[in-house]
Chains A and B, each alone.
Chain A
């Protein structure tokens, strides 16, 4: 059973949406948006960090919707690691904080400490409508507000939740922004 599955995987085409070389012609069935994004992302990541950036995700009050879609970036379809982007378990290892949710009062200190624990240069991406503008939770005693009311935000990716493709697009924008910017 296992041998058959592995053997088949060995000879099968990858499920991943291919990341075309600049000189390669697009394949039928490629998601054009994803392929374009992937290519651009890879090039700017290389310019800035050599080959990679590392992300620490922080849920500061999200409904878990954004987390599901951020998770999807790691599945074999989107497979962000091929672009040199990976998720780390510790803010000490991170270049980028991906923050979701309207920041709750109960998470404010944890977010501040996570930010402080991240070495510079660092960037903060606010993911989702709640992180961007506090969403439907704005009028509550329990929320501080959007992410930028607690830590400085470099980029906002809106959507409720943003699709994985939007997240990729956002990360690309960040890289372009970051390449033109001095160390904070």
Chain B
């Protein structure tokens, strides 16, 4: 096509959605019901770089997709009705959608027409039924190991299968390495082992039990999930939580980020056999969790954030959280200096597991994975919500895309979180921490994104007569796991733990 008649993919995407009437009662982003042709056109425009895919999920007779047109401040949701249980594949044009579509097919038996990868994803043949959220026909159990890994051909190649039970105290998943000597020619992931049926548990249920499931999607990000869920429900029901709750939510979210980043920095260094930093970071992390336990009566702050507000903090919480920060801040700075001045350690982390900017942009990879490779996106700044709306903080950005950059993003984020915490802890508003949810007849829909320590979490809800008709949660890991496969290519097998830990993707958050 000659240049003069070409319009950019994002303009085309925006045009596809312009002049459509959004579905009533969906907040705060618009939702559009579109036909199969428009859906395919949206997929194609996404594939040509017109925007970011934020999620894709199924519901009875419908498939939904959340996306953000490049350059637009507000994302949107588009929905398509399945036609004789099929829908046009987005993954055909835009690979980040492929695993999500394979999951939708496994759960609902909707066929993504034209999808290049027809293998099952979450369904390992162990459920005794097919399409557990669809028609549920009984299915014979298969050998869970029967899975067709992608073919790799070449001289001198051999395979190393790893998992699902791993060597460390970590979550289960299978990695299939094809190596030539020490060099990894291909890594292929097979996930789904911790699939607990979350989408099913979040269909046709009450608001409180759904919240307890949401809080247990990924235990390390329980605050971020509950935060996103609470905001999605509040958006749907048009509820504004009290000022005290808003600040407490921010405090909990930043404490969760600090605790996880500390654990990760230590664990990454440990995977490079530098146990000194690991030991110190372990102590810092423990200090944070001991303080959160005192302040919020739970070390991981599970079930503290609820639709309508939060559980209140213990009396004196601000004081001992401030004390904890004072206790760890200077020693942590010393450990950072140690990291920065140890060439033998950096020899392992620098130029290892590089991810290109093109890949993180295409996958819209959030968190330290995106920000270490030059993708400047942070939900707290770019889709702001309380209490970040009024807060000033920096979003660290690096471009080298290696393990070292992912360590530094975490280090700098800890600094930013501590600054936020200090400001909020000095001045927590008084008053109530919770408002009652109003009774509503009819359908309301809400969507929210929050920034978990590993990247953006999206939660979408449909509330029908005060109950959850359907709720969907998407972890940042969906768009990070595939990039780990790219990061390890041409690295040596021995550097895989290092690369893997520097990503620290969630298995539970992905498998659902």
Contacts and interface: CB of A to CB of B under 8 A. Distances in A.
Interface of A: 1-2, 5-6, 15, 57-72, 74-78, 87, 89-91, 101-102, 104-110, 114, 130, 135-137, 139-143, 160-161, 163
**Most chain A CB atoms below 10 A, which of B136, B196, B337, B511:** B196
A77 to B, nearest CB: 5
A64 B507 contact: yes
Summarize A's interface: helix, strand, loop or mixed.
mixed
Nearest to A108: B126
Contacts of B213: 136-137
A129 B140 CA distance: 30
Contacts of B200: 140-142
23 contacts: A1-B341, A2-B341, A58-B172, A63-B219, A63-B222, A66-B219, A72-B285, A72-B286, A75-B282, A75-B286, A90-B167, A104-B194, A104-B195, A105-B128, A107-B172, A110-B144, A110-B165, A130-B216, A136-B212, A137-B213, A137-B216, A141-B128, A163-B293
A142 to B, nearest CB: 3
A8 to B, nearest CB: 10
Contacts, number: 152
Contact of A140 (B124, B196, B283): B196
A64 B197 contact: no
A67 B213 CA distance: 18
Interface string B354-387: 0000000000000000000000000000000000
A142 B132 contact: yes
A142 B209 contact: no
B129 interface: yes
B55 to A, nearest CB: 20
A62 B507 CA distance: 10
Interface in B147-177: 164-165, 167-172
Contacts of B318: none
B219 A62 contact: yes
A89 B162 CA distance: 12
Contacts of B193: 61, 104, 106-107, 110
B286 A2 contact: no
Nearest to A87: B169
Contacts of A66: 219
B126 A5 contact: no
**Most chain A CB atoms below 10 A, which of B216, B220, B263:** B216
Given A63-B219, A65-B219, A74-B169, 4 more contacts: A1-B341, A64-B506, A106-B192, A143-B197
B279 interface: yes
Contact of B338 (A5, A70, A102, A104): A5
Contacts of A110: 144, 164-165, 172, 193
- List 9 A-B pairs, minimum CB-CB distance, nearest first: A65-B219, A75-B282, A142-B197, A140-B197, A89-B167, A105-B126, A63-B219, A141-B132, A63-B216
Nearest to A64: B219
A90 to B, nearest CB: 8
